[in-house]
Amino acid sequence: MESGQLFIILATAIASATPLVFACIGETITERAGVINLSAEGTIMLCAMVGFVAAKTADNVWLGFVAAALVGALIALVVAYGAITLKQSQIAIGFVLALLCSDLSAYLGNPYVRIPGPTVPPRFAIPLLQDMPFIGPLLFREGDILVYAGYALIGATWFYFYRTRGGLTLRAIGEQPAAAFARGHNVIALRYAYTLIGGALMGIAGAAFSLDFKAGWSYRHTAGYGWIALAIVIFGGWNPLRAALGAYLFGVLQSLAGVAQSTVPNVPTQVFTVAPFVLMILALVLTSGDWLDRLLSYLPVNVRRSLARIIHTAPPAALGRPFEQD
Amino acid sequence: MNGAAAPQTMTPPARAAGMPPTFYRIGAFAISLILVALVILISGASPVTVIGSMVGGAFGTADQIGRVIATLSPLLLCAAGLVYTFNAGLYNLGVEGQITFGAIAATWALRLLHPEGATASLLPPPVAIALAIFVGGVGGIAWGLLAGALHVYGRISEIFAGLGLNFAATGIAIYLIFGPWKRPGVASLSGTQPFDESLWLGTFGKTEATPVALALGLIALLMTIVVMRNTYFGLRLRAVGRNLRAAYVLGVPARRQLLSAFLICGLFAGVAGALQVVGVFHRLIPNVSSNLGFLGLLVVMLVNFDPLWILPVALFFSALNIGSLQLPLSLGLESSLSGVIQGLLVLFALLGRGLAQVYGRKPEG
């Protein structure tokens, strides 16, 4: 493959992965606090619709993003109330919301199917950074403001998680809520807050689809992306950098599928739209679980240790469990 | 809570002053109905007109009643199968893929038994159909056990193993429809070449409902009720679902129980997929599962995993699905309103259950 083609593949991947970056970071924040928001599929779809309708009605793209973030946070509020306050199964509530919000987007979004609407203003380059060899033009020339916002979000989340006191508390309430509570942190309120923030980011992901990367609205416009975002969070081992990497990897798979479509003529093109989803989950299956541990046991001890540190990920210890305060 | 004021009270005051648990459940149900009305109003229609149109769309003609039954049959199979996985503590979201793979397997069997261009099938049609349904069941089992093995031996969340296999089954179906099994001439989303009419499952009169599918659905449900209430197997399954570790320590073969739950659910879902192929579509289509698996999950969640209530709820949900198909024709609305109603009912049933547990007054004693 020549470098020009590689460049195009990577550039397409970065653009198409950007909404997923927002969704995966949002879900990572929520799950790190100990709550699973399984509604991603419905949240992203409903927020894509709401964002598009709000932006069209107000004739302002940014209001669309605000509306989508609010709706995403509202759905997350239902998850938080059911999971944290009422202590019901987070999986059940999230799953029902995933189906409910998808259908709601189809029902209420019906009058807005395939009509032109506002989109995020044109792409621009960042002056100094774009002059770096290869990486410059790839990351900083063609991107639009959301691509850059995605980079910023990844960096800021990583910094918050691992370099601030607030991030330490966030991780504590997902790992050892009782200990965090004993140190004077309000576990319930913090879990609500992080679930809402995560939901708002998922909402922004939805609007990023309908107002930018997949501009417009149609029936089941973002089908599949919510489920894949949830899988990427696990693939990413609940680490914002790895989750973002997973999202970009999915983007690469998608743009490779686009290339393969034209180069492998005897496989029907429709297969390539499903293939990235299958491959991504396959990657999840291969990296989680204990298959790799068994393979690793054949390696020399020192290699095994360092490899295991890279591969091994564990969910937050209190993920999905309600917190009993008294 | 207000520890200094009443240090002796064992229960918090909120619980002592709470209403009876049924109050919260009925209240939550009422809120879900109000929200349904609100959603209809937002779309610019009148709730009364919409509900009237849906009732007419579900029960207006024999044809429509037939379609409700045609939807009910596979839904009963899926819901019955999901009772096993839910009671084992599993969220088998892979049920969609199990339906799809059952449909693929059944189509494969029928294509072998009646090759394209042949004038008659190799076996008498009733035998061929029965065999196809059987092969569909085997296909469903394979797909269910695959998710089960990933979960039990690979320690992958059954949710993501299932979702991944759903995507994979859809991918395989699409590959076959556009590739090796494509219609002579143009391949299209409308599916493979329809089977010879001799291989179509018989129906009630001219409707879409087939007695065989309905009977299989009811048998599966009845069997499930008996197994869950009266057998040691059902008891052990519930034990595994309540507390996997404890059940294992007490000598329940936990892995075998979990895999059995996947197997039975896969079997029922695979049969449902085969019935979709031989009874409803008469060919393989990309969306052969028609979201019936996910609908089955909603049904079983609404009845709180108790198979006794599946029949009325599944019938109601099927009627909603078919009734809503009238909406685009008569009122220009989208048919996914049925999904909105189903989702709101289940969501608020779950929330109502939680409210009753947290705030409801405990029975005296």
At B83, which CATH number? 1.10.3470
The ipTM value here is: 0.92
Beta carbons of A107 and B346 less than 8 Å apart = no
Q: At residue A155, what are phi and psi to the nearest 5 degrees?
A: -65, -45
Q: How far is B142 from chain A (nearest CA, A)?
A: 18
Instruction: Tell me whether residues B167 and A224 touch, CB distance under 8 A.
Output: yes
Tokens 């008659």, located at residue: B120
| Element of type H or E holding B122 | none
Q: Indicate yes or no: CB of B354 within 8 angstroms of CB of A224.
A: no
User: Choosing among A113, A114, A270, which should be mutated to test the B contact, i.e. which has the most B CBs within 10 A?
Assistant: A270
Residue A291 pLDDT: 67
Residues of B with Cβ-Cβ distance to A39 under 8 angstroms: none
The reported pLDDT for the residue numbered B4 is 40
pLDDT at A136: 78
Which stretches does DSSP call E strand in A46-136? none
Query: Which pLDDT score is estimated for A123?
Result: 75
Residue B53 belongs to a domain:
no
State the best of A57, A100, A282 to mutate against chain B, taking most chain B CBs within 10 Å. A100
Does the domain at A3-311 match CATH 2.10.260? Answer given as no
Listed as ranges, residues in chain A with pLDDT below 50 are none
A-chain residues within 8 Å CB-CB of B39?
104, 107-108
Reading the block at residue A272, the tokens are 């390539």
Does B337 touch chain A if contact means CB atoms closer than 8 Å?
A: yes
The closest alpha carbon to B90, from B268, B242, B236, B231, belongs to: B242
Q: Which chain B residues are closer than 8 Å to A290 by Cβ?
A: 154-155
**What range defines the domain where residue B298 resides?**
74-326
Q: Work out how many domains chain B is built from and give that number.
A: 1
Specify the DSSP element, H or E, that contains A299: none
Q: Which pLDDT value is given to residue B196?
A: 86
Q: What is the pLDDT of residue B1?
A: 37
Q: Which residue of A has its CA nearest to B160?
A: A231
**B193, B116 Cβ separation under 8 angstroms:** yes
Q: Collect all residues with Cβ–Cβ distance below 8 Å to A203 and sequence separation of at least 6.
A: A43, A44, A47, A50, A51, A68, A69, A70, A71, A72, A73, A75
Q: Please name the residue of chain B whose CA is at the shortest distance from the CA of residue A93.
A: B347
Note the pLDDT of residue A138: 77
**3-class secondary structure, A265:** coil
Examine residue B69 and state whether it is found in any structural domain, yes or no: no
Q: Do B171 and A271 touch (CB under 8 A)?
A: yes
Burial class (CB in 10 A: 0-12, 13-18, 19+), A166: exposed
Mutate one of B242, B331, B347 to test the A interface: name it (highest A CB count within 10 A): B347
The domain spans of chain A are: 3-311
The answer to whether position B29 is within a domain reads no
pLDDT in tens, B62-84: 999 999 999 999 999 999 999 99
Among the partner-chain residues A38, A81, A326, the one whose CB lies closest to the CB of B1 is A326
User: Which chain A residue's Cα is nearest to B177?
Assistant: A268
Q: Nearest CB to A88: which of B42, B298, B350? A: B350
In a domain, B26, yes or no: no
Residues of A in contact with B325 (CB under 8 A): none
Name the residue among B274, B263, B273, B267 with its Cα closest to residue B131: B274
Q: Which of B32, B157, B357 to mutate to test the interface with A (most CBs of A within 10 A)?
A: B157
Give residues with Cβ within 8 angstroms of B337, minimum separation 6: A103, A107, B39, B40, B50, B54, B324, B327
Alpha carbon separation from A191 to A229, B40, B53 (Å, rounded): 20, 33, 43
pLDDT < 50: residue spans in chain B: 1-11, 13-14, 365
